[in-house]
C-alpha cells in the first residue's frame, strides 16, 4: 500500500484549485438549475462523463441505468473509490437564487411535480468533478488507480444497488477503501465525521387498512378505517417511547395518513406511510416487528374484514465507518486544515446507500460531512439558540453558500484520497 501523501504532494494537487474554481462554480450552478429525479439523471451523468473524459479517465456510462464510472490508472498502487450522488428531489425550490430550479417533470404516476436540488447532490457532483480534475492534472503526486463513481438514485435507495447489480464488482477493480461525503447544515469550511455508525438505517412502509364504507350518518353500518388508522398512528408513538431503551435510538415518523373523499362518506380503506430510522440491527428488527404487531392488532380490534397490507417502499442500510480508515482520514484532515475545523460528530439520523459499495466489495468505507452554511449565519443562529431554524437538507430553502463550501469539498476529497494514494 502506498504511503501517505506529503504536505508538498497535497499542495501540488491542490495548486490549481483556485484556477479551476470558476469552472466548478459554473458547473454547480448549471446542475442546480437543471435537476433530475432519481434514476432519470441522463443530463447530469452525461456532463459528469464528459468532464471525466476530458480529464483523461477511462469512462463507462450507463452503469445501473444512469451511473458513471471513471478510472484513472497511474502506476502501481491501490485503487481508491470516490463517490458522488446525482439525483434531485420532487420539491419546489424556494431559495430565490438567480440560478434556482424552475424544472417540472411528469412522474411515474403521470402527475407533474417540481424538481429541485434541495439535498446538495449538485454540490457533490461539482466536488467530485473538481477533485478528479485536480488529481488528473498532478499525477506526479500520487500512484495507484482512482475510481470515480457518479451514482444515481440515492434518494430512492435504488442507485447503489442498481450499479452493483449491473456488474460493478466484476467490471471494475476492487478498491481498498470507498470514500464519500455530504454537504450538511454546519459552518462552511468545517468538516465532521466519526468512526462507527455515521448515518442511520431507514425503512419506509406503506400500510393499507381495510374497513367497510357507509353513509356518514350511519356509522353503525360501517367498520371505520379512519378511526382504525387514527388508533394505529397514536399507538405507534409508543414504540419508541415505551419499547426502545433510553440507551438506544430510533425515530418513527408517520408522514402520510389518507382516507376518504367526502366528509359524509365513511370510506372502505385508509392509507398510512411511515418511516423508521435506527442505528442498531436489533433495534431495527424490534421496531419493525412492533409496527406489524400494532397494525394487525388494531385492525383485529376494529373487526376489519381483512388483514392490513404492509408493503416496504424502500430500505437503506446502516452506514458504518471503518475505525482504522476513519482515523486515517481524520489524521489527513487535521494535517491539512486547522485543527478547529475538523470536528467529531455523532451518527446522523439521515440515511444513505453509500455503504452498499463497501459492503458489497467487503472493504472499509468512510463517509463524512462538509458544512454548507454561511459561518456568520451559523454562529448568529447558534448564539441565539435558533440552529433548528436554519434550512436543512430537503427544505425548499436549503441552499449551501458557494464559498468556501465548493473549495472545502474538493479539498476534503483530494486530501482523503491522497491518504491512500500518496506517492511519498
For residue 108, what pLDDT is reported? 72
**Whether the predicted pLDDT of 422 surpasses 90:** no
Say if 7-199+318-421 and 201-315 have the same CATH topology.
no
Number of Cβ within 10 Å of residue 357's Cβ equals 24
The pLDDT of residue 8 = 76
Q: Considering only 182-186, 225-229, 306-310, 344-348, which range has the smallest mean pLDDT?
A: 344-348
Output the pLDDT for position 109.
Answer: 79
CATH class of 201-315: alpha beta
Helices 121-137 & 405-421, crossing angle to 10 degrees? Answer: 50
Q: Say what percent of the chain tops pLDDT 70.
A: 98
Task: Output the pLDDT for position 110.
Answer: 85
Each residue of 237-248: pLDDT tens digit? 999 999 999 999
Arithmetic mean of pLDDT, 274-279 = 96
Mean pLDDT (whole number) for 65-82: 97
Q: How confident is the model at residue 423 (pLDDT cuts 50, 70, 90)?
A: low
Q: What is the pLDDT of residue 4?
A: 56
Fold exhibited by the domain 7-199+318-421: Aminopeptidase (3.40.630)
Give the mean pLDDT of the chain.
96
Q: What is the pLDDT of residues 52-70, one digit of tens each?
A: 999 999 999 999 999 999 9
pLDDT band at 213 (very low <50, low <70, confident <90, very high): very high
* Burial (CB count <10 Å: 0-12, 13-18, 19+), residue 141: buried
Cell output for 197: 455508525
**The pLDDT value given to residue 5:** 62
Is 70 exceeded by the pLDDT of residue 298? yes
| pLDDT of 2 higher than 50 | no
Long-range Cβ pairs for the range 293-301 (8 Å, 24+): 294/232, 294/235, 294/236, 294/239, 295/207, 295/209, 295/232, 298/209, 298/228, 298/231, 298/232, 298/235, 299/209, 299/210, 299/228, 301/231
> Where is pLDDT greater, at 54 or 9?
54
Give the per-residue pLDDT at 1.
Answer: 41
Question: Which residue positions form the known binding site?
Answer: 119, 121, 155, 182
Q: How confident is the model at residue 157 (pLDDT cuts 50, 70, 90)?
A: very high
What proportion of the chain, given as a percentage, has pLDDT over 90? 95
**Cα–Cα distance for residue pair 118/110, rounded to 1 Å:** 22
pLDDT greater at residue 171 or residue 111: 171
Q: Looking at residues 176-181, what average pLDDT do you find?
A: 98
Supply the pTM of this predicted model. Answer: 0.91
Binding-site residue ranges for Mn(2+): 119, 121, 155, 182
Q: Are 41 and 415 in contact (CB under 8 A)?
A: no
Give domain limits for the chain: 7-199+318-421, 201-315
Cα–Cα distance, 236 to 230 (Å, whole number): 10
Amino acid at each position: 500500500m502506498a504511503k501517505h501523501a506529503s504536505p508538498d504532494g497535497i499542495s501540488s494537487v491542490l495548486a490549481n484549485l483556485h484556477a479551476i474554481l470558476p469552472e466548478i462554480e459554473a458547473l454547480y450552478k448549471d446542475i442546480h438549475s437543471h435537476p433530475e429525479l432519481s434514476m432519470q439523471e441522463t443530463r447530469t451523468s452525461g456532463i459528469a462523463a464528459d468532464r471525466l473524459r476530458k480529464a483523461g479517465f477511462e469512462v463507462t456510462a450507463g452503469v445501473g441505468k444512469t451511473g458513471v464510472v471513471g478510472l484513472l490508472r497511474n502506476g502501481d498502487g491501490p485503487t481508491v473509490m470516490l463517490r458522488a450522488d446525482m439525483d434531485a428531489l420532487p420539491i419546489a425550490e424556494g431559495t430565490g437564487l438567480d440560478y434556482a430550479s424552475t424544472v417540472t417533470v411528469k412522474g411515474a404516476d403521470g402527475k407533474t411535480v417540481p424538481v429541485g436540488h434541495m439535498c446538495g447532490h449538485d454540490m457533490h457532483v461539482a466536488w467530485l468533478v473538481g477533485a478528479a480534475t485536480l488529481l488528473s492534472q498532478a499525477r506526479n503526486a500520487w500512484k495507484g488507480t482512482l475510481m470515480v463513481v457518479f451514482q444515481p438514485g440515492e434518494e430512492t435507495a435504488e442507485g447503489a444497488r442498481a450499479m452493483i447489480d449491473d456488474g460493478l464488482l466484476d467490471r471494475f477493480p476492487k478498491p481498498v477503501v470507498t470514500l464519500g461525503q455530504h454537504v450538511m447544515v454546519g459552518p462552511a469550511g468545517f468538516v465532521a465525521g466519526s468512526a462507527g455508525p455515521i448515518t442511520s438505517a431507514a425503512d419506509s412502509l406503506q400500510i393499507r387498512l381495510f374497513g367497510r364504507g357507509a353513509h356518514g350518518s350511519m356509522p353503525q353500518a360501517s367498520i371505520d378505517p379512519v378511526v382504525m388508522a387514527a388508533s394505529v398512528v397514536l399507538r405507534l408513538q409508543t414504540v419508541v417511547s415505551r419499547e426502545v431503551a433510553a440507551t438506544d435510538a430510533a425515530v418513527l415518523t408517520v408522514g402520510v395518513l389518507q382516507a376518504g373523499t367526502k366528509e359524509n362518506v365513511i370510506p372502505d380503506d385508509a392509507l398510512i406511510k411511515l418511516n423508521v430510522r435506527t442505528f442498531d440491527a436489533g433495534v431495527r428488527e424490534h421496531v419493525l416487528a412492533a409496527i406489524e404487531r400494532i397494525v394487525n392488532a388494531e385492525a383485529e380490534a376494529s373487526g376489519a374484514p381483512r388483514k392490513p397490507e404492509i408493503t416496504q417502499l424502500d430500505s437503506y442500510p446502516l452506514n458504518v465507518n471503518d475505525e482504522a480508515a476513519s482515523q486515517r482520514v481524520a489524521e489527513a484532515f487535521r494535517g491539512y486544515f486547522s485543527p478547529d475545523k475538523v470536528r467529531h460528530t455523532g451518527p446522523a439520523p439521515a440515511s444513505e446507500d453509500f455503504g452498499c459499495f463497501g459492503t458489497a466489495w467487503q472493504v472499509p468505507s468512510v463517509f463524512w460531512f462538509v458544512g454548507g452554511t454561511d459561518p456568520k449565519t451559523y454562529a448568529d443562529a447558534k448564539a441565539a439558540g435558533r440552529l433548528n431554524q436554519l434550512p436543512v437538507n430537503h427544505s425548499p430553502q436549503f441552499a449551501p453558500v458557494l464559498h468556501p463550501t465548493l473549495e472545502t469539498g474538493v479539498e476534503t476529497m483530494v486530501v482523503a484520497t491522497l491518504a491512500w494514494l500518496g506517492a511519498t
